[in-house]
Structure 1
Amino acid sequence: MRAGRPPGRHRRAEAPQATYREVIAIREFRALWYAQGLSLLGDQLAQVALAVLVYDRTRSPLATAAVYALTYLPSIVGGPLLAGLADRFARRGVMLTCDLIRAALVSGMALPGLPFWALCSLVFLVVLLSAPFSAARAALLPEVLEGDLYVMGSALQNMTNQAVQMLGFAAGGAMIAAIGPYRALALDAATFLGSALILISAVRRRPAANGDGSKPSMWTMTRAGARLVFGSRKLRTLVLFAWLCGFYILPEGIAVPYATTLHTGTLPVPVITGLLMAAMPTGTVVGAFLYSRFVTPPRRLRLMGWMAMLSCAPLVVTAMRPPLAVVLAAWFLSGIGGAYQLAANAAFVQSVPAEQRAQAFGLVQSGLMAVQGIGILAGGFAAERLGPEPVVALAGVMGMISAAVLALIWTESRRRVPATA
């Protein structure tokens, strides 16, 4: 993790940088890629549908933000306790089981007239199951792709995820205006079934990562994963970079009330909401492509702090209550900065042993979802009192300061000779 080579030492020959063509040529990666993209597209439609449905019922920014936060908060529990299932059992099997159960749960959400408490409960359970699914996929990917192939594969998945979010959010507003939120939820259920079909047909079975056959308790695995992640200075720093997204994800949680303030009669509120929610993912697609394609692996790590600051700084402009075009441009720039997560994620996943990879990822994902959910709830609470524009600007200021501190810590840790942990 040093910034440069010390005098008198040979620099290790760097492996050649992989290409997207090489990654796409791998059949199992394509299956993981397609399955994730399909289910994510349905999820974005569902998120817009839920936001519109709840706001129409309550007209409350806080209630809207609370339901949106339910798409993050269950991972506080699911990350530490359920992610370890992907180390105890075959990872493909964990993914298939989660897909089938979530398809059934989302089908229930698509029933008109479902009580509000039941809708929230089903949302909670669906997101709870995303923890073992995501942990299994993240742990399986390094087994399919090695070396810089993994980095490029992660970049391709990241760009695809953001592109799907962009498409789902942007088209989701128009689609929901046309077909209604309940049919959009039914489409989400179908995408989970499609994901399961792709996985079972194209991803080969592998034994559980815990090859000795032992089945330690969930609590034992959670404690071991926590010692691994938080006992390493390098991993701790990377985790804090990942959790920084709690600041710049906040605007998405109050996109509906923000869209209401920007409504001038030309575009309906659902369409403005979709455009706002699509702006950051669009920026991240552009940023991830440039970051992975034209920046060498060592330089990605050196630029990580600057990119993190860029992920929050543009949000400050919303304090001036600019028009829609300026807000979209600012959120787009924020998305470009968010591409730094690519380097942080790749460095983290490749630094943990294979037999604990799912558990470690689940712990980090738990905190990641927690900071996003808490940030969105806090943003919704503040937006009811201050309005959405100053709240987004405040999140940008706080995030930029935090990113600057992390950048200094990261630079200092890279200069230390020897790099501990």
Structure 2
Amino acid sequence: MGKHRRAPERQATYGEVIAIREFRTLWYGQGLSLLGDQLAQVALAVLIYERTKSPLATAAVYALTYLPQIVGGPFLAGLADRFARRRIMIACDLLRGLLVAVMAVPGMPLWTMCVLVFFVVLLSAPFSAARAALLPEILEGDRYVVGSALQNMTNQAMQMLGFAAGGALIASLGPYKALALDAATFLFSALIIMSGVRRRPAASQGSSKPSMWRMTRAGASLVFGDRQLRTLVMFAWLCGFYVLPEGIAVPYAISLADETLPVPVVTGLLMAAMPTGTVLGAFLFSRFVSPSGRLRAMGWMAMLSCAPLIGCAMHPPLEVVLVLWVLSGVGGAYQLAANAAFVQCVPAERRGQAFGLVQSGLMAAQGVGILIGGLAAERLGPEPVVALAGVSGLTVAAVLAMVWTESRADLSARVRAEATA
């Protein structure tokens, strides 16, 4: 008798995912909001610098965009489990549109703009948690991974397009009109969600709803009390190592620029390298690797996200640096598998809180990584700092890969069973 052959795993296609109306609605709304946000970031930076003439003030306001999600995210994300997720998303979009519209009023005091920025970013925590928790209800099985890959690629594309077009648009419209345009994107996003996402009841049913503090504690207990979930969270937060180079792209560009390629051009190339790799990696990983294969490859891909950065210690030319950073971005596609595995391990009624906690840690990891990288680059120079980030990240990724190998067997079997059903 011949050997028993394992049934091939079915992989979802981009076409069948895009054909789902509710997913298209979330996808369009996300792309619209992201494009507006990138435009607003450039407009805000221009506006703050015009008012203060201070690079420190400009950087401080940019850093302010990290703080609300780190501080408020773990508490407000629970709203996505406490109330209907569609309603949370619409309310957050309308409130953010209103706040940004106030920012667009010419002559608004600087301190008022800072307060408004804080609350605009704060509201993104429950919105993101609600959308992340809703997506697995719309897309099941491997469709969720493909949909996540599409959203990931959209994020990166909108970032590149927003930053590239932002300067030209602001030069013609002015920063206040650009902020007004961002306010309009939030309102359009709310309308799109109203028309395209069906009503669902709140995930937490029952007349007595727990307090936000109790929900936050319960979410932390769930996420960090389970070894498998804890490992997946650490995989997500590994990005603090491999996003560090983007935070010191300008000093790195200074060391590589010449007469033919000035600093702004080199900076743009460096900052576009990792997002380009991420788009490429997300496409290849979701399209050509089987669902269970992604779980097996996750550790190796995580190591790939950090290992190429070590090559920067050799002070290579720009072309080689770009290749190394693109490869790092390709490795970052492991986040798709980590995200899908996390969804499967968390009960549906607690996904909002769980996603909020992970997202807050993600923002903190990126912010702290960039801050440490900037301080270290002043003393050591950008190349050694990027290489050290690569070494540190590779070490952590290797440990996580070993831990994951021991704990993924049950999850792999479940994923394989779903994919062959």
TM-score normalised by the shorter chain: which range applies? Answer: 0.7 to 0.9
Shift in Å at residue 14 of structure 1?
6.9
For 1:124, the equivalent position in structure 2 comes to 118
Instruction: Pick which of 38-47 and 360-369 moved more.
Output: 38-47
Residue identity opposite 2:149 in structure 1: A
Q: Distance in 1 between matches of 2:345 and 2:299?
A: 19
Q: Distance in 2 between matches of 1:43 and 1:348?
A: 27
Contact 1:169-1:274 within 8 A present in 2 as well: no
Q: Distance in 1 between matches of 2:283 and 2:209?
A: 41
Residue identity opposite 1:222 in structure 2: T
Q: Gaps spanning 5+ residues in structure 1: where?
A: 1-9
Structure 1 residue 350 corresponds to structure 2 residue 344? yes
CA separation of 1:220 and 1:322: change in aligned 2, threshold 3 A: same
Partner SS for 2:202: coil
Q: Distance in 2 between matches of 1:374 and 1:252?
A: 13
Residue identity opposite 1:218 in structure 2: M
Shift in Å at residue 181 of structure 1?
4.8
Contact 1:31-1:203 within 8 A present in 2 as well: yes
Contact 2:295-2:412 within 8 A present in 1 as well: no
Residue identity opposite 1:363 in structure 2: L
Structure 1 residue 337 corresponds to structure 2 residue 331? yes
Q: Distance in 2 between matches of 1:79 and 1:354?
A: 19
Residue identity opposite 2:184 in structure 1: A
Q: Distance in 2 between matches of 1:120 and 1:380?
A: 23
CA separation of 1:101 and 1:87: change in aligned 2, threshold 3 A: same
Q: Distance in 1 between matches of 2:241 and 2:329?
A: 12
For 1:105, the equivalent position in structure 2 comes to 99
Once the two structures are superposed, residues 133-183 of structure 1 have per-residue CA deviations (whole angstroms, 9 ceiling, x without a partner) of 000001111111112222221122122222222322344355456655554
Instruction: Pick which of 360-369 and 175-184 moved more.
Output: 175-184
CA separation of 1:39 and 1:140: change in aligned 2, threshold 3 A: same
Partner SS for 1:312: helix
Q: Distance in 1 between matches of 2:145 and 2:217?
A: 28
Instruction: Pick which of 63-72 and 387-396 moved more.
Output: 63-72
Shift in Å at residue 217 of structure 1?
0.5
Contact 2:292-2:412 within 8 A present in 1 as well: no
Alignment of 1:14-413 (within 5 A): 16-50=10-44, 60=55, 66-110=60-104, 117-176=111-170, 181-264=175-258, 266=260, 270-413=264-407
Q: Distance in 1 between matches of 2:410 and 2:140?
A: 28
Residue identity opposite 2:376 in structure 1: A
Instruction: Pick which of 219-228 and 66-75 moved more.
Output: 66-75
For 1:7, the equivalent position in structure 2 comes to none
Aligned alpha-carbon RMSD (Å): 3.0
Contact 1:75-1:127 within 8 A present in 2 as well: yes
Once the two structures are superposed, residues 362-389 of structure 1 have per-residue CA deviations (whole angstroms, 9 ceiling, x without a partner) of 1111111111111122223333444434
For 1:5, the equivalent position in structure 2 comes to none
Contact 1:165-1:278 within 8 A present in 2 as well: no
Shift in Å at residue 268 of structure 1?
6.2
Contact 1:166-1:278 within 8 A present in 2 as well: yes
Residue identity opposite 1:142 in structure 2: P
CA separation of 1:97 and 1:245: change in aligned 2, threshold 3 A: same
Instruction: Pick which of 380-389 and 195-204 moved more.
Output: 380-389
Shift in Å at residue 275 of structure 1?
3.4
For 1:4, the equivalent position in structure 2 comes to none
TM-score in terms of structure 1 length? 0.87
CA separation of 1:219 and 1:24: change in aligned 2, threshold 3 A: same
Q: Distance in 2 between matches of 1:399 and 1:64?
A: 30
CA separation of 1:287 and 1:378: change in aligned 2, threshold 3 A: same
Residue identity opposite 2:124 in structure 1: S
Instruction: Pick which of 382-391 and 85-94 moved more.
Output: 382-391
Q: Distance in 2 between matches of 1:353 and 1:115?
A: 45
Once the two structures are superposed, residues 216-262 of structure 1 have per-residue CA deviations (whole angstroms, 9 ceiling, x without a partner) of 10011111111111111110100000000111122233334444554
Residue identity opposite 2:162 in structure 1: G
Q: Distance in 1 between matches of 2:202 and 2:84?
A: 4
Contact 1:105-1:126 within 8 A present in 2 as well: yes
Once the two structures are superposed, residues 312-343 of structure 1 have per-residue CA deviations (whole angstroms, 9 ceiling, x without a partner) of 22223334444444333322221111110000
Contact 1:66-1:377 within 8 A present in 2 as well: no
Q: Distance in 2 between matches of 1:412 and 1:138?
A: 27
Residue identity opposite 2:341 in structure 1: A
Q: Distance in 1 between matches of 2:345 and 2:124?
A: 23
Q: Distance in 1 between matches of 2:131 and 2:157?
A: 19
CA separation of 1:177 and 1:302: change in aligned 2, threshold 3 A: farther
Q: Distance in 2 between matches of 1:271 and 1:175?
A: 18
Shift in Å at residue 38 of structure 1?
1.1
How high is the sequence identity, in percent, across the aligned residues?
Answer: 78
Q: Distance in 2 between matches of 1:356 and 1:394?
A: 37
Partner SS for 1:74: helix
Q: Distance in 1 between matches of 2:254 and 2:183?
A: 29
Residue identity opposite 1:202 in structure 2: G
Contact 1:169-1:277 within 8 A present in 2 as well: no
Residue identity opposite 1:366 in structure 2: S
Contact 2:232-2:342 within 8 A present in 1 as well: yes
Instruction: Pick which of 317-326 and 290-299 moved more.
Output: 317-326
Q: Distance in 2 between matches of 1:107 and 1:323?
A: 45
CA separation of 1:22 and 1:192: change in aligned 2, threshold 3 A: same
